[in-house]
Amino acid sequence: MKDLYLVFFGMVMVLFFSTVCMAFDDGDIQYWNTETVSWNVSDDWKVFLEEEFYFGNDAGEFYYQHSDLGVAYSGLAPWLDVQLSYRHIFEEKEGKWEEENRPHFNVVLKRDFAGMQISNRSRWEYRDKENASGGWRYRNKLTLKLPWRFTRFNLRPYIA
């Protein structure tokens, strides 16, 4: 029962603090699609490929695409993954397609707690843009996978 209270308290805290996050609302309906496939090369090594597409202007105009190819290693510790990836991006801006190359390195700290999986990804990426000077950027992503699974496909809700 204590675990249930912790899950409930965690969800309330996430919802309470997430109210400061606002989405840009310009009346546009968008559709974003991400597909990922991965292969376990060995017990500790995994290769993955991700494709992502964005459609804007009431989901009728294609304006963004990226391909991300990477390798992940999980043999250092059970609570740690490291990943090295390369992302190739095409984005339409003001009627012109721009290209970006983005190699990135990720460190993922992970832990199971009260039936949930908690992970914290730190990403360091170099942005090599077509019409701009390149530069480094740090990005962080905290993810909480909830303990419940639904349907025969084992759909699992998460908060990130």
Going by the DSSP 8-state scheme, the letter that residue 23 receives in this structure is -
Check residue 11 and give its pLDDT: 64
CA distances from residue 60 to 51, 63, 67, 93 in whole angstroms, order as listed: 19, 10, 21, 16
**Residue 71 to residues 25, 85, 88, 91, 119, Cα–Cα distance (Å):** 36, 6, 15, 24, 18
Note whether 128 and 100 are within 8 A (CB). Answer: yes
Q: Which tokens go with 67? A: 């391909």
21: confidence class by pLDDT, cuts 50, 70, 90:
low
Q: What is the pLDDT of residues 47-88, one digit of tens each?
A: 999 999 999 989 999 999 999 999 999 999 999 999 999 999
pLDDT higher than 80, residue 44: yes
- Nearest Cα neighbor of 56 from 23, 31, 24, 93 is 31
Cα-based angle 109, 115, 118 (whole degrees, multiple of 5): 20
Supply 95's token pair: 């009627």
Per-domain residue ranges of the chain: 31-159
